């Protein structure tokens, strides 16, 4: 079988050199088309292997690009939400830490002064504690629920100092001496809050001069 190939308008080398193949039909020099269309053999159509390989290489479609963008947007939104939640949680923890630290310092100050106090008022209300320090200072610690603060009041000049903020509850429980004129010990409970977090701390101070 002859393995030659030619193009559509190439003269057919079959001995008839006086005509041409045009669009599957043999046309004589006089312009006369011969018979019906004669299909060209498929083996005569050039199919380069490089053309086949190029046809198989495809890119991303518009739907695939939109889907990738949607997934990327969701991932970025999730990362942003996680970062924002972490930042909010850090700020809340920092606030509650400062509030708790102030409450602990207030408890330490009160218990230290009560241990060495010369006298403690047994008749003060449960939200107050009045006493005379070892150096003769007349002090009162008072919790006011109206503004959620613990105040230090120097009774000699009626000066008030804010000792702790964000106090939601506080109480002073006294154990009296046998004669009821002084106190053996004072138990203090304080509750502070910051945002949705709340913490209760307690401490006790024994008046050393009334141990016997």
Q: In what order do the strands lie in the sheet with 119-120?
A: 119-120, 128-132, 138-144, 149-154, 159-164
Q: What is the pLDDT of residue 1?
A: 46
CA–CA separation, 125 and 142 (whole Å): 9
Strand runs (DSSP E) across 28-75, as ranges? 33-34
pLDDT tens digits for 10-63? 454 444 445 555 555 555 555 555 554 445 555 445 555 555 555 555 678 888
Q: What is the pLDDT of residue 92?
A: 84
CA–CA separation, 134 and 93 (whole Å): 38
Site of tokens 């939104």 = 77
The percent of residues in the chain predicted with pLDDT above 90, rounded, is 55
pLDDT tens digits for 91-122? 888 888 999 999 999 999 999 999 999 999 99
Q: What is the pLDDT of residue 17?
A: 47
Structure tokens at 110: 């009160």
Q: For residues 140 and 147, is the Cβ–Cβ distance under 8 A?
A: no
> What are the residue boundaries of the structural domains of the chain, listed by start?
20-56, 92-210
Instruction: Give CA 5 to chain center in angstroms.
Output: 71
Q: What is the pLDDT of residue 30?
A: 54
pLDDT tens digits for 134-169? 999 999 999 999 999 999 999 999 999 999 999 999
Q: What is the pLDDT of residue 117?
A: 94
Of the candidates 160, 79, 177, 159, the one whose C-alpha atom is nearest the C-alpha of residue 123 is: 177
- Pairing relationship of beta strands 119-120 and 20-22 according to DSSP bridges: unpaired
Q: In what order do the strands lie in the sheet with 25-27?
A: 20-22, 25-27, 33-34
Q: For residues 28 and 22, is the Cβ–Cβ distance under 8 A?
A: no
Site of tokens 């630290």 = 101
CA–CA separation, 126 and 170 (whole Å): 8
Q: For residues 110 and 205, is the Cβ–Cβ distance under 8 A?
A: yes
As beta bridge partners, residue 124 has none
Strand runs (DSSP E) across the chain, as ranges? 20-22, 25-27, 33-34, 119-120, 128-132, 138-144, 149-154, 159-164, 167-176, 183-194, 197-206
């Amino acid at each position: 079988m002859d393995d030659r190939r030619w193009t559509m308008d190439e003269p057919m080398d079959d001995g008839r050199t006086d005509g041409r193949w045009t669009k599957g039909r043999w046309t004589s020099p006089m312009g006369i088309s011969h018979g019906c269309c004669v299909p060209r053999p498929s083996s005569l159509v050039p199919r380069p292997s490089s053309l086949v390989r190029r046809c198989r290489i495809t890119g991303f479609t518009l739907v695939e690009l939109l889907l990738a963008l949607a997934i990327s947007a969701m991932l970025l939104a999730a990362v942003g939400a996680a970062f924002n939640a972490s930042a909010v949680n850090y700020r809340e923890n920092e606030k509650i830490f400062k509030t708790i630290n102030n409450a602990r310092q207030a408890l330490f100050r009160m218990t230290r002064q009560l241990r060495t106090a010369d006298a403690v008022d047994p008749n003060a209300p449960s939200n107050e504690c009045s006493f005379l320090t070892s150096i003769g200072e007349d002090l009162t610690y008072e919790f006011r629920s109206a503004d959620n603060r613990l105040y230090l009041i120097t009774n000699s000049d009626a000066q008030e100092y804010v000792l702790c903020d964000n106090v939601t509850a506080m109480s002073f429980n006294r154990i009296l001496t046998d004669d009821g004129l002084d106190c053996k010990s004072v138990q203090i409970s304080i509750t502070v809050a910051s945002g949705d977090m709340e913490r209760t701390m307690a401490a006790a101070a024994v008046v050393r001069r009334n141990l016997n």
